């Protein structure tokens, strides 16, 4: 009944540039070990605030994302494994 | 004798670790390879206040002790004392970026847990202030339980204090009774955020510099345009600035061979030194100015933080053939010379991405091919005007460049689906803050690269040129005989001839292929030697050579020869550098073989098509 309902739940690759969002979950199984490890190194984790800043000029890939105080670039495919909850 | 105390400098990538290492050790650094892996080991000496020397080693940047790249694996292995060829460090200097503590403290906490005497260098405090962030090192010190020193490595600030702290650390008796609790990453990350938050005195939100620059430099339209402009300037500089130093080197080589010629009696020894060593090595080091200028730009792009932006802009296009955006600058540099291009692939994390980039780099048309192309095009392609401002000769030259690029992309595509399948950790990297690097740091980098090229490639180049000389000079021709007929090289040339005759190469060409292994442009002088053209006037010699070629070669042969040079790996410097960068002979041999096969096929196809068309 009181199951958490998040109408705006989306994935990081679909988030608009300049929209801040909170990471709700990361599908670690969609990534290989090295990729998953690197994302953790960058600080991607549940509860962390992220914000897409820039998109690559060709096919809007890769995506530059602000995580904590860092800016990192990851490919669209990897961003798709990260579910986020936009912050109003 | 007990070995010097070993202090390791460790930290996350982009913490300013190399600048700090440079600040502590100066230009006297030793660069080697860790055994069995293609990870560089940088070390240097530091003298303490009481005159005791210690050894400082700069560990590859790592985000944690759980490695995601070969570099990080080496860092972990050194720190736990399991790296071959390295003893366990006696103490650590951990470098963290003051404006990125949330992230960098995670690795820092992990390192402190190792239980070695540790000092934390809170680096780039100036950039943190620029971003409106004020930190209290005392709070950090009490939270971490180790000394913290504020530094700005690229401005050489706080270095004396850091050195004093290292001094204290090594002088004080250390009772390493730390409990080895191995905390998991999630736990460490939370603790890192807590400590980072505690250390913040004040934070004023400001529009960050880096973000403002990025909105221009990573703009979907302006970004690629600016990248093209920067690359244009780089190439202009490589070719314009290298003219004078190349002349000096040429004159120096000529002067040296003149001195040796007068000093030594005629004979095999003199011939070996003058015609073998000096001429051969001279032909190769003519490219040193271009290599160094390219490296200067590469280091500048890396130091400012623009390099990863270029990779960001180009990643999608490179991804299409199975490479990463990181391969863009190395491959582009290879248009001037594959040597700096291949050495610059160090920035590519993924081993398979990196290897693919190394293997296709020689397909980019380097400047050593130009003399060969120019000669053959001038001799065989009529200078017809196709349209206003467009001549047939120019179109053929452009076609050769395009063929090289297409060949490289195709080769990468095939390699990534064949021998180098899998892997490809994708493209995940930090976009560091922009900063202006210290010229001294760039020069130290340049010096290190030059040393590596001259030392490692130099020995192979010297050895090969002497072997090539011996093959061409032994046995010596008697009266009335031509040296190129009697020598071993001549016999090998005739052997090569039977192989290359089907693709339209005549005896003259097959004679030139072996000497041109030293460097591609040697083909021109080798062919001149075959035709016994010996004119002191370069211009006259070139004209004579052109006439001779027109007389002896068919158009089909000339075109086949051009196609050959698009692909053939005729450059020992490239082979030597590939050996160093891949740590063994397996990959250079593979590279040489597949490129020769491609060259043969391309020349054959060109020749047969041309003959069929009646050219």
pLDDT tens sequence across A6-58: 557 899 999 999 999 999 999 988 888 888 888 989 989 888 999 999 999 99
The segments of chain B whose pLDDT lies below 70 read: 1-2, 173-182, 206-207, 423-425, 532-538
Indicate whether A5 belongs to any domain: no
Of A37, A38, A71, nearest to B431 by CB-CB distance is A71
What's B33's domain CATH number?
A: 3.40.50.300
Of A42, A45, A73, nearest to B427 by CB-CB distance is A73
User: B215, A39: Cβ pair inside 8 Å?
Assistant: no
Please name the residue of chain B whose CA is at the shortest distance from the CA of residue A41: B63
Residue pair B277/B466 in contact (Cβ under 8 Å)? The answer is yes
Of A35, A68, A75, nearest to B102 by CB-CB distance is A68
Of B99, B185, B214, nearest to A40 by CB-CB distance is B185
Indicate whether B21 belongs to any domain: yes
User: A62, B312: Cβ pair inside 8 Å?
Assistant: yes
pLDDT in tens, B151-206: 999 889 999 999 999 998 888 766 554 555 567 877 888 889 889 989 888 887 76
Q: What is d(CA B226, CA B313) in angstroms, rounded to the nearest whole number?
A: 11
Q: What share of chain A is helix, strand, coil (3-state, %, to 5)?
A: 20, 35, 45
Residue pair B368/B521 in contact (Cβ under 8 Å)? The answer is yes
* Domain, as residue range, for A75: 10-86
What's A44's domain CATH number?
A: 2.30.30.90
Residue B126, CA distances (Å) to A28, B132, B135, B199, B374 in order: 37, 10, 11, 16, 52
Residue pair B408/B357 in contact (Cβ under 8 Å)? The answer is no
User: A45, B189: Cβ pair inside 8 Å?
Assistant: yes
Indicate whether B169 belongs to any domain: yes
Residue B339, CA distances (Å) to B527, B535, B573, B602 in order: 25, 32, 7, 24
Structure tokens at B389: 């401002």
Indicate whether A39 belongs to any domain: yes
Residue pair B42/B29 in contact (Cβ under 8 Å)? The answer is yes
Look at residue B207 in the predicted model and tell me its pLDDT. Answer: 65
User: A70, B218: Cβ pair inside 8 Å?
Assistant: no
User: A56, B102: Cβ pair inside 8 Å?
Assistant: no
Q: Which pTM was predicted?
A: 0.86
Concatenate the DSSP letters of all residues of A49-70 into one string: EEEEEEE-TTTT-SEEEEETTE
User: A54, B64: Cβ pair inside 8 Å?
Assistant: no
Cα dihedral value B565, B288, B255, B540, nearest 10: 30
Indicate whether A54 belongs to any domain: yes
User: B427, A72: Cβ pair inside 8 Å?
Assistant: no
CA neighbours closer than 13 Å in the CB half-sphere of residue B87: 11
**B chain contacts of residue A56, beta-carbon cutoff 8 Å:** 220, 312-313, 315-316
Using DSSP, state whether B204 is helix, strand or coil.
coil
Q: What is d(CA B573, CA B458) in angstroms, rounded to the nearest whole number?
A: 8
Q: What is d(CA B28, CA B41) in angstroms, rounded to the nearest whole number?
A: 14
Give the count of beta carbons closer than 10 Å to the beta carbon of residue B149.
Answer: 21
Structure tokens at B43: 């070390």
**B chain contacts of residue A32, beta-carbon cutoff 8 Å:** 425
Q: How many domains does chain A have?
A: 1
Of B66, B67, B431, nearest to A64 by CB-CB distance is B431
Look at residue B177 in the predicted model and tell me its pLDDT. Answer: 47
What φ, ψ does residue B530 adopt, rounded to 5°?
A: -60, -40
Indicate whether A16 belongs to any domain: yes
Look at residue B275 in the predicted model and tell me its pLDDT. Answer: 82
Phi-psi region of A56 (alpha: psi -120 to 50; beta: other; left: phi over 0): beta
CA neighbours closer than 13 Å in the CB half-sphere of residue B270: 11
Residue pair B606/B502 in contact (Cβ under 8 Å)? The answer is no
**Cβ-based neighbours of B266, under 8 Å, separated by 6 or more:** none
Indicate whether B176 belongs to any domain: yes
User: A57, B313: Cβ pair inside 8 Å?
Assistant: yes
Indicate whether A61 belongs to any domain: yes
Touching check for B426 and chain A: CB below 8 Å?
yes
* Domain, as residue range, for B77: 6-203
Angle at B75 between CA B73 and CA B81, to 5 degrees: 100
Indicate whether A29 belongs to any domain: yes
Average pLDDT along chain A: 88
Structure tokens at B587: 């990959």
Best of B96, B221, B431 to mutate (most A CBs within 10 Å, chain A): B431
**Cβ-based neighbours of B593, under 8 Å, separated by 6 or more:** none
Q: What is d(CA A33, CA B271) in angstroms, rounded to the nearest whole number?
A: 59
DSSP structure class, residue B478: -
Touching check for B289 and chain A: CB below 8 Å?
no
Look at residue B313 in the predicted model and tell me its pLDDT. Answer: 95
Phi-psi region of A59 (alpha: psi -120 to 50; beta: other; left: phi over 0): left
User: B68, A70: Cβ pair inside 8 Å?
Assistant: no
Give the count of beta carbons closer than 10 Å to the beta carbon of residue B102.
Answer: 20
Give the count of beta carbons closer than 10 Å to the beta carbon of residue B167.
Answer: 16
Best of B67, B68, B135 to mutate (most A CBs within 10 Å, chain A): B68
Using DSSP, state whether A86 is helix, strand or coil.
strand
Q: What is d(CA A26, CA B168) in angstroms, rounded to the nearest whole number?
A: 45
Give the count of beta carbons closer than 10 Å to the beta carbon of residue B239.
Answer: 14
B6–chain A nearest CA distance, Å: 28
Indicate whether B372 belongs to any domain: no
Q: What is d(CA B107, CA B10) in angstroms, rounded to the nearest whole number?
A: 9
User: B430, A70: Cβ pair inside 8 Å?
Assistant: yes
Look at residue B201 in the predicted model and tell me its pLDDT. Answer: 87
User: B431, A40: Cβ pair inside 8 Å?
Assistant: no
User: B316, A56: Cβ pair inside 8 Å?
Assistant: yes
Residue pair B8/B78 in contact (Cβ under 8 Å)? The answer is yes
Q: How many domains does chain B have?
A: 1
**B chain contacts of residue A77, beta-carbon cutoff 8 Å:** 426
Q: What is d(CA B164, CA B427) in angstroms, rounded to the nearest whole number?
A: 40
Of B189, B313, B317, nearest to A43 by CB-CB distance is B189
Q: What is d(CA B65, CA B75) in angstroms, rounded to the nearest whole number?
A: 8
What φ, ψ does residue B387 adopt, rounded to 5°?
A: -155, 180
DSSP structure class, residue B91: E
**Which positions in chain A have a beta carbon within 8 angstroms of at least one beta carbon in chain B?**
32, 34-35, 37-43, 45, 53-59, 61-62, 64, 68-75, 77-78
Structure tokens at B251: 């004159």
Please name the residue of chain B whose CA is at the shortest distance from the CA of residue A74: B428
Look at residue B186 in the predicted model and tell me its pLDDT. Answer: 78
Q: What is d(CA B514, CA B520) in angstroms, rounded to the nearest whole number?
A: 10
Per the DSSP assignment, residues forming a β-bridge with B202 are B134
User: B221, A41: Cβ pair inside 8 Å?
Assistant: no
User: A73, B63: Cβ pair inside 8 Å?
Assistant: no
A86–chain B nearest CA distance, Å: 21
User: B312, A56: Cβ pair inside 8 Å?
Assistant: yes
Strands B390-391 and B385-387: antiparallel
Burial class (CB in 10 A: 0-12, 13-18, 19+), B443: middle
A71–chain B nearest CA distance, Å: 5
Indicate whether B63 belongs to any domain: yes
A62-86: average pLDDT = 93
Indicate whether B250 belongs to any domain: no
Of A34, A42, A69, nearest to B99 by CB-CB distance is A69
Indicate whether A47 belongs to any domain: yes
**A chain contacts of residue B215, beta-carbon cutoff 8 Å:** 54
Best of A62, A67, A82 to mutate (most B CBs within 10 Å, chain B): A62
Q: What is d(CA B408, CA B411) in angstroms, rounded to the nearest whole number?
A: 5
How far is C-alpha B80 from the geometric centre of its chain's CA atoms?
A: 30
* Complex prediction ipTM: 0.92
Q: What is d(CA A64, CA A75) in angstroms, rounded to the nearest whole number?
A: 9
Using DSSP, state whether B387 is helix, strand or coil.
strand
Q: What is d(CA B485, CA B493) in angstroms, rounded to the nearest whole number?
A: 9
Structure tokens at B530: 């075959």
Indicate whether B20 belongs to any domain: yes
User: B428, A77: Cβ pair inside 8 Å?
Assistant: no
Give the count of beta carbons closer than 10 Å to the beta carbon of residue B382.
Answer: 7
């Amino acid at each position: 009944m009181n199951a958490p309902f998040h109408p705006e739940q989306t994935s990081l690759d679909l988030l608009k540039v300049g929209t801040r969002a909170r990471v709700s979950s990361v599908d670690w199984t969609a990534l290989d070990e090295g990729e998953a490890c690197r994302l953790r190194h960058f600080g991607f984790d549940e509860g962390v605030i992220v914000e897409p800043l820039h998109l690559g000029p060709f096919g809007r890939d890769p995506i530059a994302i602000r995580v904590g105080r860092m800016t990192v670039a990851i490919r669209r495919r990897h961003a798709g494994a990260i579910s986020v909850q936009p912050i109003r | 004798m007990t070995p010097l105390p070993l202090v390791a400098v460790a930290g996350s990538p982009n913490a300013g670790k190399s600048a700090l290492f440079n600040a502590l050790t100066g230009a006297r650094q030793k660069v080697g390879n860790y055994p069995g892996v293609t990870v560089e080991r940088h070390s240097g000496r530091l003298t303490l206040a009481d005159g005791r020397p210690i050894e400082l080693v700069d560990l590859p940047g790592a985000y944690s002790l759980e490695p995601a790249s070969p570099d990080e694996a080496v860092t972990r292995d050194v720190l736990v004392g399991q790296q071959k060829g390295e003893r366990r460090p006696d103490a650590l200097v951990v470098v963290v970026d003051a404006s990125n503590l949330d992230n960098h403290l995670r690795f820092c906490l992990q390192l402190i847990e190792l239980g070695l005497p540790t000092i934390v260098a809170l680096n780039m405090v100036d950039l943190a202030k620029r971003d409106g962030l004020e930190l209290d090192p005392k709070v950090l010190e009490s939270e971490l339980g180790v000394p913290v020193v504020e530094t700005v490595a690229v401005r050489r600030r706080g270095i004396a204090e850091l050195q004093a702290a290292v001094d204290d650390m090594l002088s004080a008796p250390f009772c390493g009774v730390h409990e080895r609790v191995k905390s998991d990453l999630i736990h460490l990350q939370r603790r890192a955020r807590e400590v980072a938050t505690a250390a913040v005195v004040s934070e004023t939100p400001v529009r960050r510099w880096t973000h403002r620059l990025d909105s221009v430099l990573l703009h979907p339209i302006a970004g690629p345009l600016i990248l093209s402009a920067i690359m244009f300037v780089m190439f202009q500089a490589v070719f314009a600035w290298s003219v004078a130093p190349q002349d000096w080197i040429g004159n120096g080589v000529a002067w040296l061979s003149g001195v040796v010629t007068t000093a030594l009696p005629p004979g095999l020894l003199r011939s070996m030194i003058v015609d073998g060593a000096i001429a051969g090595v001279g032909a190769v080091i003519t490219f040193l100015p271009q290599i160094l200028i390219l490296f200067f730009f590469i280091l500048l792009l890396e130091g400012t933080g623009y390099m990863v932006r270029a990779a960001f802009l180009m990643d999608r296009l490179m991804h299409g053939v199975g490479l990463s955006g990181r391969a863009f600058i190395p491959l582009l540099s290879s248009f001037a010379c594959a040597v700096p291009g291949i050495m610059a692939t160090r920035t590519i994390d993924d081993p398979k991405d990196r290897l693919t980039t190394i293997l296709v780099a020689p397909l980019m048309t380097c400047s050593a091919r130009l003399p060969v192309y120019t000669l053959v095009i001038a001799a065989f392609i009529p200078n017809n005007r196709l349209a206003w401002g467009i001549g047939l000769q120019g179109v053929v030259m452009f076609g050769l460049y395009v063929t090289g690029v297409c060949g490289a992309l195709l080769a990468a595509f095939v390699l990534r689906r064949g021998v180098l399948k899998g892997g490809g950790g994708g493209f995940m990297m930090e976009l560091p803050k922009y900063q202006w690097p210290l010229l001294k740091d760039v020069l130290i980098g340049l010096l290190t690269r030059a040393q590596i090229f001259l030392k490692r490639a130099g020995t192979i180049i010297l050895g090969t040129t002497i072997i090539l000389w011996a093959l061409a000079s032994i046995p010596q021709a008697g009266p009335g005989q031509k040296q190129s007929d009697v020598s071993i090289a001549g016999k090998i040339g005739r052997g090569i001839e039977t192989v290359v005759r089907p693709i339209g190469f005549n005896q003259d060409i097959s004679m030139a292929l072996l000497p041109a292994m030293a460097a591609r442009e040697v083909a021109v002088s080798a062919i001149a030697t075959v035709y016994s053209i010996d004119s002191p006037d370069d211009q006259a010699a070139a004209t004579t050579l052109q006439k001779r070629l027109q007389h002896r070669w068919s158009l089909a042969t000339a075109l086949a020869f051009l196609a050959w040079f698009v692909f053939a790996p005729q450059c020992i410097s490239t082979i030597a550098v590939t050996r160093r960068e891949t740590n063994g002979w397996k990959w250079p041999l593979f590279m040489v073989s597949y490129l020769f096969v491609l060259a043969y096929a391309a020349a054959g196809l060109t020749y047969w098509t041309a003959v069929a068309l009646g050219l």
